[in-house]
Structure 1
Amino acid sequence: MDRAIDRLRQYWILARFDKPIGILILLWPALWALWVASDGKPDVLVLTVICLGVVLMRAAGCVINDYADRDFDPHVQRTQHRPIAAGKVKPKEALLVFVVLCLCAFGLVLLLNSYTILLSFVAAFLAASYPFMKRYTQLPQAYLGIAFGWAVPMAFSAQLNSIPPVAWVMYLAVVLWALVYDTMYAMVDKEDDLKIGVKSTAILFGAYDREIMGGLQLIILGLLMTVGQMIDANWPYYGGLLLAAGLSVYQQKLIFHREKTLCFKAFLNNNWFGLVVFLGLLVDYWLR
């Protein structure tokens, strides 16, 4: 019995259920999309499936990430205690956990329309392939954005059975947002990544990392303003974007000296960025 409990505990840690920040950062864009697609009144089944799907696929992504990085993680200070790296979970076990999580998520998607079911195969491919990108491209954080942001077109398709232009504008904003916050995350591991040969935008951007991320943050805010124009948003939405702009400035302040703890704090702060944008949408549609 104790062994079984320990196995479940290790799987729980492997799937990062003990660190919900990743779930929240993925969940906000999905909620943005659902609120816009439904004019503030999402279908209860769609809302439930999308939210649970985000939780399960984020967990699956963490598991396959640790499987892919099993030879790298023992050499990185931040990741050397992860279950696979520490020898507490075997790689074959991790693959089994990944498959189970994906099947659970797919079972939920089967409750939705056929268009969304087809899009779920793209989501599964993106989630499974992302962890290997850091070996082949200097832009794995951009690929992560493509994978994480896929919840946006899926939310629109689940609610509307179509993907309107506003969905793709929002998707691009989310892709760039993930590129920014995951670069902040990668700045923490930059020294270790250079030693072991792992690629990242934190390395690619070099001495211009802050400037490039600042420019991307301006583009993200511009795209979200475009979303507002496309949905005829009112002052609450733009008020949320103003708060998001303030958070972006604060994040720039945090990463200014590239201190590891502050870069990680900047990454975590993106949860609040996603929240204030959603609250702006929530109040906007509530007042209509």
Structure 2
Amino acid sequence: MPEGDSLHRLAARLAPVLEGREVVDFSARRFTNDAARSLVRRRVTSVAAKGKNLLIRFDDARVLHIHLGMEGRVLVERPRSTFWAMDRERWEPDMRLAVRGATIVGRRLPMLRLLTESQEKRAPDLAELGPDLVREGWDENEAVRRLRALTDRAIADALLVQRAAAGIGNVYKSEVCFLEGVDPRTMLSELHDDELRRLLRRASALLRSNLGSGPRVTRPSLRGPRLWVYGRGGRPCLRCKTPIVRLMQGPAPFSASARSTYFCPTCQPPHAARRDEARP
């Protein structure tokens, strides 16, 4: 599942392939022929991630904005691979961008658009993004301020709001709440600023620790699962053996937009219980 670390890793893989090279061909299902042709002979100046967005910039100040959603993928084409040849017969990509010496393709892309510099500045989903937790030096005070500015909601839902803090997705939402001992159903208004800071710092540390190669890990161990709670509904907690609970959260918990949250009822007691335990 693409989250902030996934996009930064993707940008790091694509940058050596694309940066500084001239576009020789471009096609995209949602683009007119004129729009697609306008990128040919342009030079790629940078490839970067911003939160959960991939931004490919060109020498005319335009940017190709890609969001992977839940199932999107961007790959470097390998035409000599037998597997790639078979896979190519099964699907037509949403996008193909060819530069001298390499081609990348995108599939199942819910967001693919070409923006001018002024359009990018006006696009709310980019211009209003909160601090990117994957980047060094992200503004902790600003992230807390943006969380406080949200309408009151469960902390697990608040952590997914990209205009508050960019980069956290469904996996890290559950893992961060578990590691900080916070019940994901706790309302934002019930948490102190120090608790929000700890959640954000933990999220940033996990995101940054997963920028290298290999599978995503939040539980460093030579044995057992790589994740503490995500995807483990009904299985025993790795700390206390209590069965992990899976619940659906979101503005409409029973709709298609609802997201799964996993937590341990023992390790993550309700906030009121935690507060009572802390009293002398």
**TM-score with structure 2 setting the length:** 0.27
Of Structure 1 and Structure 2, which has the larger fraction of its residues in helix? 1
Higher relative contact order (CA 8 A, sep 6+): 1
Of Structure 1 and Structure 2, which has the larger fraction of its residues in strand? 2
